[in-house]
């Protein structure tokens, strides 16, 4: 059962309040998490800070049972791809970020925010269809994008990502780093020396493709990385739980997915095909009943409902729907109803 958590970020932009971030939590959820420094300032001042963050992350995993599929620490932000067996992303992130902030401030004798508070948590489909691989490969290749490696350096030369652990024997990895799912999505069934060598070869080949990465656009900008069916499932679960403080795009997507489900239900009940919505009259009582249900049960505007169901202009559709929903259908509709 998917449990939704709608959280209000603890910090706001100086220019005004920021929209709330949607946090979808359920057992086994996978996220691409990214958090930046406050005002994009550095969050790691030296290697001791980086070691301290990884120590804090290890403690967070012990407390929450998180499994980390990939991580990368950069100068003013970090990336994680993590799995939450216990549906506890929000609580775990609150502890991780606040604890690291306290420790860094104490060590450097400073005060104030370290992290922006508006961390990104993008859902990643873990079906084995390659979405986890896309997210993890993106994270592991960040040092190349950031210019932190010379062309002749191996990816292994960057010590602040989980990639070196993928190339190490199991006894040399921390328990909270999980490698089997990513290796599986690369088609490497066993965690053997040969498989690890092949994994490195593939990642070195992937670094040559940097600069031609259209496939990463959804990962950079979207709230979800996955297939259409996964997206629909998540949006269905969000229905009725979004408010004005959440993004307009997400609210529109949620309404559209629910509307399509309602339309499919009504077409099945009526024994109609999709084409019937276009060929039947604009004042067909069954069409008006379907449109009225969309009006009652979704946030789609009249214009969108009229276009989807085939009711003509939004002005005429609004009049017909108003009459239908009040129980005063036009006379010609009543006659059609008697003839059916």
Give residue-wise pLDDT tens across range 50-59.
Answer: 999 999 999 9
Position 16 pLDDT exceeds 50 = no
Q: Are 43 and 77 in contact (CB under 8 A)?
A: yes
3-state class of 31 per DSSP? Answer: strand
Rounded distance between C-alpha atoms, residue 64 and residue 80, angstroms: 15
CA distance 243 to 223: 16
Mean pLDDT for 147-166 is 96
Q: Is the pTM of this model over 0.75?
A: no
Q: Are 146 and 131 in contact (CB under 8 A)?
A: no
Residue of 95 and 324 predicted with greater confidence: 95
Q: Which long-range contacts (CB under 8 A, 24 or more apart) does 9-16 make?
A: 9/117, 9/118, 10/117, 11/38, 11/113, 11/116, 11/117, 11/118
Q: Which of residues 81 and 310 earns the better pLDDT score?
A: 81
For position 123, what pLDDT does the model report?
95
Pull the structure tokens for residue 133.
């691989």
Residue 334 vs residue 113, higher pLDDT: 113
Contact 182, 136 (CB under 8 A): yes
pLDDT of residue 224 exceeding 50, the answer is yes
Question: What is the Cα 198 distance to its own chain's centre?
Answer: 30
């Amino acid at each position: 059962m998917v449990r939704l958590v709608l959280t209000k970020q603890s910090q706001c932009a100086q220019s005004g309040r920021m929209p709330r971030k949607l946090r979808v939590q359920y057992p086994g959820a996978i996220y691409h998490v990214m958090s930046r420094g406050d005002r994009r300032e550095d969050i790691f001042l030296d290697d001791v800070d980086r070691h301290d963050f990884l120590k804090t992350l290890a403690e967070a995993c012990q407390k929450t049972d998180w499994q980390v599929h990939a991580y990368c620490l950069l100068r003013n932000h970090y990336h994680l791809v993590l799995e939450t067996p216990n549906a506890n992303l929000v609580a775990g992130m609150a502890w991780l970020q606040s604890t690291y902030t306290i420790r860094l401030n104490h060590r450097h004798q400073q005060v104030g925010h370290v992290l922006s508070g508006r961390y990104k948590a993008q859902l990643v489909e873990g079906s084995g269809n390659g979405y986890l691989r896309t997210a993890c490969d993106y994270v592991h290749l960040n040092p190349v994008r950031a210019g932190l490696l010379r062309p002749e350096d191996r990816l292994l030369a960057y010590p602040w990502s989980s990639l070196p652990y993928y190339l190490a024997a199991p006894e040399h990895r921390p328990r909270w780093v999980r490698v089997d799912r990513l290796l599986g999505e690369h088609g490497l069934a066993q965690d053997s020396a040969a498989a690890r060598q092949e994994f490195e070869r593939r990642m070195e080949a992937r670094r040559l493709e940097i600069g031609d990465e259209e496939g990463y656009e959804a990962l950079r900008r979207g709230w979800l990385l996955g297939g259409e069916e996964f997206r629909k499932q998540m949006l269905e679960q969000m229905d009725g739980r979004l408010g004005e403080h959440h993004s307009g795009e997400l609210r529109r997507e949620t309404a559209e997915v629910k509307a399509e489900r309602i339309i499919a239900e009504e077409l099945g009940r009526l024994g109609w095909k999709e084409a019937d919505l276009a060929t039947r009259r604009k004042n067909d009582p069954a069409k008006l009943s379907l449109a009225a249900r969309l009006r009652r049960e979704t946030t789609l505007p009249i214009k969108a409902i009229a276009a989807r169901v085939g009711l003509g202009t939004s002005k005429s559709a609004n009049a017909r729907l108003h009459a239908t929903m009040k129980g005063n259908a036009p006379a010609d509709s009543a006659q059609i109803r008697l003839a059916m």
